[in-house]
Structure 1
Amino acid sequence: RLHVVMLSLIKLPRVFTINQVPKVFHEDSIISGYRPPCSSATDCILSLFQLTNETLNIWTHFVPTWYFLWKLVTVVLTQSAWQDAFTWPLVILLLSCSMYPLASSCAHTFSSMSERARHICFFFDYGALSFYSLGSAITYSAYVFPDKWVNSFFHQCYIPIAVLNTVICTTLACYSRFPECQSPKFSKCLRVVAFAYPYLFDNIPLFYRVFLCVGEGCTNNDTNILHYNHIGLAFLTGFLFATHLPERLAPGSFDYIGHSHQLFHVCGILGTYMQIKAIEQDMETRRSWLLDHSIPFTFANSLGAGLLCVVLSLTIIIIYSLPLLSATTLQEKKRGKGPKKAKSARTARSPVS
């Protein structure tokens, strides 16, 4: 009885239709299930336990975060990661795999607090995805490159270009939020390009290895099956993100369960899981050969590159966030001055009257 009484005392936030929230909160072909556009942090957390159009977006990334964190802790504690430079790229990947779903779930949770909060929350989401992209590149450079490309000129330039791509990705993705209300299609295309470009670059060595390479030096082993699974899920993830299917075919029918962003999250997480499995198998089966023939495993091409990515992405996020914060502060000051002026004017008139 006590828990029933407690639940009855908790007032869950009401949900709105698309016509009741500002345009910046609109989602393509999602008609209902919107949370209040000026929710408090408490309301946002309470909304995790009611069905809205964001609920499954949050949980489909929040729950897998703990699996990836468990994997990260396992590698660090059981494989003596800090003493073995060969495992450093895997540590960066697992760290990025833990960060991006956590950042995504937090962004979806607190994005209904205000327009400014929505933009800033997703800035961090995009920065985390850029970090994941670099984590993938670092592990591909370390464990996945086909034998015949190892130590090539492209291999030596691969990580520096991947770091540059994180800057491009975060910058374009953050910028894509500003024209969203006026030009939603342009904004969507810009965001798709921002994430598709680094993914395609990162996977050049993998695509060559599993689709094009023939003969000696192609690294044709059992791990390729896992890579095929990961690639298939990755392209399905991109397809769902770009097309807004199935809700575009029946607007309003998938508002709460089954819309593209939920499916996008699920496919993305499954793809990441398959990617980690493939990389761990490549890492185990190719270890001795890679230690003898590949580029040396150093701080600069693993942990250092990841740290640089974090610093650059945070800098970009701050640059984009400052105008939003200053504009809000200015509006609050104007609202604060208004009543004071009105009060002073009434005070000045009162002796005359």
Structure 2
Amino acid sequence: MPLHPESPSLECPVCVCPTPRPHQILSPYSSSSVSRLVSGYWKVFWEDGIMSGYRRPSSSALDCVLSSFQMTNETVNIWTHFLPTWYFLWRLLELAGGPGFRAEPYHWPLLVFLLPACLYPFASCCAHTFSSMSPRARHICYFLDYGALSLYSLGCAFPYAAYSMPASWLHGRLHQLFVPAAALNSFLCTSLSCYSRFPELESPGLSKILRTAAFTYPFLFDNLPLFYRLGLCWGRGHSCGQEALSTSHGYHLFCALLTGFLFASHLPERLAPGRFDYIGHSHQLFHICAVLGTHFQLEAVLADMGSRRAWLATQEPPLGLVGTVATLGLAVVGNLLIIAAFTASLFWGPSTWWPIGGRYKGQTTVRPHF
């Protein structure tokens, strides 16, 4: 259940440093003032500009599930990715069930793209649902969330390599290494984004920069073919033939840029702390834009598949079935190992790493109230 100023005090025996009472945390102060009040155990769960609607920071798994049907500051976050999971799963089953679709190798890169497109919103939904169980559980949830996003960045590379490459790049060095490089990028993305959670409290600016860079770099790499085709066709209208981008490509890129802006800016809640706690804060808008971007990306890939099919049929695919399965399998295993390593550090790391649930050096254990 969400914590409100009028909520009764709740003892939290696992907390390790003084924490303000709810009437302090959830009061209508400025964002910077409230951030200074929040410390210790609560600060792990604190979001800039969000003044109220927090769930108990030691909820059970059942409490977390039930909270998705109550109004908290995470409720819309949960549902804006839970429902799209089923939409993308429906699109996957619809396309895979088409006559001859699975039997034709030309379609396999699209199916590979749709698998992580279903996975990442589901992982995000689970992360937002269970992130209030404990500080460690919160970090593990988001490690898995970041891993799913990294696999999604790899999934995007398969259809782009198969259907969206500029003609002058076909069978060149970049084309041949595009998917393997995307797999390596997924390892970098998972490592950097997971690591970004460790300096989050002491250096929030550094944490934000690391996490933003972790997801910006794979996006820029994956979309190199589109940026190149866009540059070739700039100002040429309908005269650029196979290099022409569909309208869906433009919508996808716009949604992606808007998603990045919302993630980095924390607008609008930074301008009016407390006004968007339940509906309309940046993370909810970020979820919506990300899902819309994936939808338009799927439509753009389908457009390239159709419009370039006759031309691509004369070309050799960049990866066969064995290469596709091997690359995807190694990427999944590698990302899981990275997540396992960061998860292990939550239990075996130095006790001075406050983000993992330890205490700052010199602190004493107390029993705060909420």
- TM-score norm. by structure 2 comes to 0.81
Deviation of 1:218 (Å): 6.0
Which residue pairs with 1:348 in the alignment? none
Q: CA deviation at 1:310?
A: 1.0
2:154 counterpart residue number? 134
Aligned-residue offset at 1:325: 3.9
1:186 maps to 2:206: yes
Give the structure 2 partner of residue 15 of structure 1: 3
1:169 is the counterpart of 2:205: no
- Is the 1:210–1:224 Cα contact (8 Å) retained in structure 2? no
Q: Is the 8 A contact 2:150 2:189 kept in 1?
A: yes
Give the structure 2 partner of residue 4 of structure 1.
Answer: none
Return the alpha-carbon distance in structure 1 between the equivalents of residues 75 and 58 of structure 2: 17
Q: What is the correspondence of 1:196-345 to structure 2 with a 5 Å cutoff?
A: 196-213=216-233, 219-221=242-244, 223-326=245-348
**AA matched with 2:116:** S
- The alpha-carbon deviation at position 305 of structure 1 amounts to 2.0
- 8 A contact 1:233–1:267 mirrored in 2: yes
Match of 1:68 in 2: 88
2:68 corresponds to which residue? 48
Measured after TM superposition, the shift of residue 217 of structure 1 is 6.8
Matched, 1:149 2:172: no
1:83 positional shift: 2.3
Residues 28-86 of structure 1, C-alpha deviations (whole Å, 9 max, x = no match)? 11111110000001110111111111100000000000010111112222254442211
| Structure 1 pair 306–149 and aligned structure 2 pair: CA distance change class (3 A) | same
The alpha carbon displacement at 1:302 in A equals 2.9
Specify which structure has the bigger relative contact order, considering alpha-carbon pairs within 8 angstroms and separated by 6 or more residues. Answer: 2
Q: Name the SS for the 1:293 alignment partner.
A: coil
**Counterpart in the other structure of 1:10:** none
Q: Can you give the 5+ residue segments of structure 2 that lack an aligned partner in the other structure?
A: 5-21, 26-37, 351-370
User: Against the structure 1 CA distance between its residues 198 and 300, is the aligned structure 2 distance closer, same or farther, given a 3 Å change threshold?
Assistant: farther
Structure 1 residues without counterparts, runs of 5 or longer: 1-12, 329-353
CA deviation string 1:214-261 (max 9, x = no partner): 78876244x521101110110000000000011111111111110000
Aligned 8 A contact 2:242 2:308 in 1: no
Bigger CA drift: 223-232 or 158-167?
Answer: 223-232
Q: Secondary structure at the match of 1:27?
A: coil
| Alignment correspondent of 1:99 | 119
Write the distance in 1 (CA, Å) between the matches of 2:328 and 2:100.
19
Q: Partners of 2:83 and 2:91 in 1: how far apart?
A: 13
After TM superposition, give the deviation of residue 100 of structure 1 in Å: 0.1
User: 1:282/1:301 Cα in 2 relative to 1: closer, same or farther (>3 Å)?
Assistant: farther
Amino acid at match of 2:193: A
Say yes or no: does 1:160 pair with 2:180.
yes
Question: Shift of the alpha carbon at 1:326?
Answer: 4.9
Which residue pairs with 1:113 in the alignment?
133
CA distance in 2, matches of 1:79, 1:314: 35
Superposed CA offset, 1:237-287 (max 9, x none): 000000001111111111111000000000000010000001011112212
| In structure 1, distance between residues paired with 2:156 and 2:210 | 22
Q: How far is 1:148 from its partner?
A: 2.1
CA spacing shift, 1:51–1:109, aligned 2, 3 Å: same
Contact 1:166 1:198 in 2 (8 A): yes
- Amino acid corresponding to residue 178 of structure 1 in structure 2: F
Provide the alpha-carbon RMSD of the alignment. Answer: 1.9
Is 1:123 matched with 2:138?
no
Which of these two proteins has the greater Rg computed from alpha carbons?
1
Quick check: 1:147–1:218 contact (8 Å CA) kept in 2?
Answer: no
Q: Percent sequence identity over matched residues?
A: 53
Letter in 2 for 1:143: Y
| C-alpha distance in 1 between matches for 2:191 and 2:101 | 32
What is the SS of the residue equivalent to 2:53? strand
| Superposed displacement of residue 312, structure 1 | 0.9
Normalised to the residue count of structure 1, the TM-score between the two structures is 0.85
CA distance in 1, matches of 2:191, 2:222: 18
Q: Cα offset for 1:212?
A: 3.7
